[in-house]
Amino acid sequence: MIEFRADRLDQRPDSAILAEVAGVKRHRLTHDNPDINSSFQERARELNRRKPELDLVRERLAQERDRSIKSNREIESLTLQLRNYATALSVALDEREELIDQLRSDERIQSFRRPTKSPK
């Protein structure tokens, strides 16, 4: 049998407390009293909807989704910037090659050799 605890009477009475005080199993109490059963079921549904652990996980998931969206936007921005730099570099290198070819054809470029240092 369940032991009676007077400290539980200070709380809001519910079917579990009433059952404990009366020494009756909750199932019997709610089965015989549809009003108590419906309030018990409603409270149980509310508890299932409002689990703090679940709310915390949902909040973290929302934060992670927001972070992911922000990261994807940054990645797209950096990718576009990288493509623009690559295009500009390619244009500059092509122009450099054209200038070198032009100067070589005019024979204005001579090979450049660095002077070697003689060992002392």
Cβ atoms of 38 and 14 within 8 Å: the answer is no
In the chain, the amino acid numbered 38 is S
Rg of the chain (C-alpha set):
40
CB-hemisphere CA count at 13 Å for 54?
Answer: 6
Question: What global pTM score does this model have?
Answer: 0.42
Per-residue pLDDT in tens (0 to 9) along the chain, 120 residues: 445 455 555 555 666 666 666 666 666 666 677 777 788 788 878 777 777 788 888 899 999 999 999 999 999 999 999 999 999 999 999 999 998 888 877 665 566 666 677 665
Q: Can you count the helices (H) and strands (E) in the chain? A: 4, 0
Q: CA–CA distance from 40 to each of 3, 43, 44, 85, 113 (Å)?
A: 21, 5, 6, 66, 94
